Amino acid sequence: MSANTLLVDPLAALFRPALSGLPPLVLDDAEIEVQLCVPLAVIVAVRRFTNNSDRLIEAVLTLPPIAPDEVLYRLLVRIGGVDYQGVPQSARRARREHDVAIANGQRAILYELLGGRIPLVSIAGIEPATQVEVVTWSVKPVTRLAGNTARLDIALGAGSDASAARLGHADAIVTTAERHAASLRVSAEALQVTISGQPYPDQILQINEAIGVECGTPIVLDIMALKGRSLDRSEWQVDKSGGWEVTSERSFETFRHPTNPGGRISSDRDDWIYGRVSTATGIVKVTAPLHDDGNWWGVAPVAQGMRAFAATGFVEAATPQTGADVLRAANVLTRKTSLVFIGPEGELPDEIPQLRKLALAAMDVSETSVPSLPQLEPVPEVWMEPPQEPDLPVKESPIMPGAGASRRDWLTWMEIPFLVALLVTAWWLNLPVTQSLAVFAVAILLVAMRFRPARGTVARRRSPLLVLLALPPVASFLGGPLPWQMATGDMARIADWMIPFQLGMSVSALLLPIALVIALPGARHFVLVLGLLAVVLTFLLAATSIITLSPGA
């Protein structure tokens, strides 16, 4: 029996002061922007926090359960000024790739819906002293009230929730009595919005102006139509033009203004948020109504939100697009679909990040007054140990996504001049050109493979664009003297156009990699290495053509 099995007093433990664990991170501030397009509201929440430890961390933020009919559809994480977008992927696969990436020391971001209701954001690979901005987009219907008014509730903090209590401690919501600055901005057209529920008197909001709010108190917005308009949009029937539509037809963009479907309309709701249309040909359409009179400039800012909202109404498994396809295309976060970003290897230091929970303001602590935004002061702590200020290392140079190992960055390019020098030497020594070029091409491709963009990234999805790099050398070859002679047998005056054409191809080969670097963010090394291969091949082919066509050659 070890020393720990000796029992002294079963009650003694209960009289000890609580042991302090790792304190949760707290938010620096939060900004909420509400775009009202009644009957829908698009909510953009910006939450900022700083890694105030001296270690690489994984920050885990669990948000309160979403409201019924609320749809989450976009995540952007800004770490040290660099943007990372989550892309949709099956939830199980996203979680697995996220876990593997963390174990490999890569930057990894996951936005998932636990139990279908509780959003969780995990951001691994946050360096010391770095501020992180988490931006989430959601859309939800406003609550219809009597008298042509509506209401929208927003909560920045979190209270106790039975479903959240069943989560594991790594996934559970963590709250703190500490307060952070928070502000609200509402944009709407021909609407009067009154804020209430705050520790200051109810007031009518100035549209597009920020107002300080209390992060631990629910925000209540009462909405009323102005200029003789009505909040009731039921006149916008789904069989008329005037809604945002998702359809079972597969097309380049599946979301569009509805045309007259000439079909059967059904809806299980009385607020006309969803309208399901079945056409005679079996096509299923779901329409979310427009908040405006069909003006594109009014729809554009919230189009993605409306698209996501309409997609969630598409529950019927019509062919060829299933409900899951539609939700995935609309970037909608569901029990089966998560948003994920996996950074490239070598971007971060070789270190396992330390998991830190991020705390939300506790909703059950009442406040008596809320100062304006800049004067917000944190409430004295009640139960949480204050985090100690560590000696933070000075960050000398930011690491960009897609870059290789930063500490020996210059080494990554050493192979390229070495290979080019080998090729030039082979040419100088009159070694067979074809074999030399083949060896050079294989070596360059092997170098390029090291910089291949990670799965799930924007660059990986756009990698088919790299085929464009092959166009200049192919065109240079096909537009050269030999194929021309074989095809036409006429070599008269071809130098007049062929030499400028070959020069043009050389310039194209130089410019294309630069354009593709912009089109494929995060794959700079990959594009430039492949671009170099295209440039060398094009230059050789162009030089051969020009020399052949030059008089006396």
Binding site for another protein (CB under 8 A): 2-13, 16, 18-19, 21-22, 58, 60, 99, 102-103, 105, 122, 168-171, 350-352, 354-357
Min. distance of Cβ 447 from another protein in angstroms?
Answer: 24
Min. distance of Cβ 44 from another protein in angstroms?
Answer: 27
Nearer to another protein, 103 or 514 (CB): 103
Nearer to another protein, 21 or 551 (CB): 21
Min. distance of Cβ 57 from another protein in angstroms?
Answer: 9
Q: Are 173 and 117 in contact (CB under 8 A)?
A: no
Tokens of 364: 């059950």
Burial 494-512 (b: 16+ CB within 10 A, else e): bbeebeebbeebbebbeeb
Min. distance of Cβ 172 from another protein in angstroms?
Answer: 9
Nearer to another protein, 83 or 385 (CB): 385
Q: Are 97 and 89 in contact (CB under 8 A)?
A: yes
Nearer to another protein, 131 or 354 (CB): 354
C-alpha atoms less than 13 angstroms from C-alpha of 323 in its C-beta half-sphere = 11
Within a 10 A sphere around the Cβ of 229, how many other Cβ atoms? 15
Question: What is the rounded distance in angstroms from the CA atom of residue 353 to the CA atom of residue 107?
Answer: 10
Tokens of 20: 């302090």
Question: What is the rounded distance in angstroms from the CA atom of residue 260 to the CA atom of residue 310?
Answer: 17
Nearer to another protein, 77 or 512 (CB): 77
| Residue matched to tokens 């948003």 | 339
Angstrom distances, CA of residue 437 to CA of 98, 508, 530: 40, 20, 14
Question: What is the rounded distance in angstroms from the CA atom of residue 275 to the CA atom of residue 261?
Answer: 12
Min. distance of Cβ 357 from another protein in angstroms?
Answer: 8
C-alpha atoms less than 13 angstroms from C-alpha of 143 in its C-beta half-sphere = 10
Nearer to another protein, 10 or 380 (CB): 10
Min. distance of Cβ 171 from another protein in angstroms?
Answer: 7
Nearer to another protein, 235 or 385 (CB): 385
Min. distance of Cβ 160 from another protein in angstroms?
Answer: 12
Secondary element (H or E) of residue 360: strand 354-361
Min. distance of Cβ 110 from another protein in angstroms?
Answer: 9
Nearer to another protein, 101 or 327 (CB): 101
C-alpha atoms less than 13 angstroms from C-alpha of 541 in its C-beta half-sphere = 28
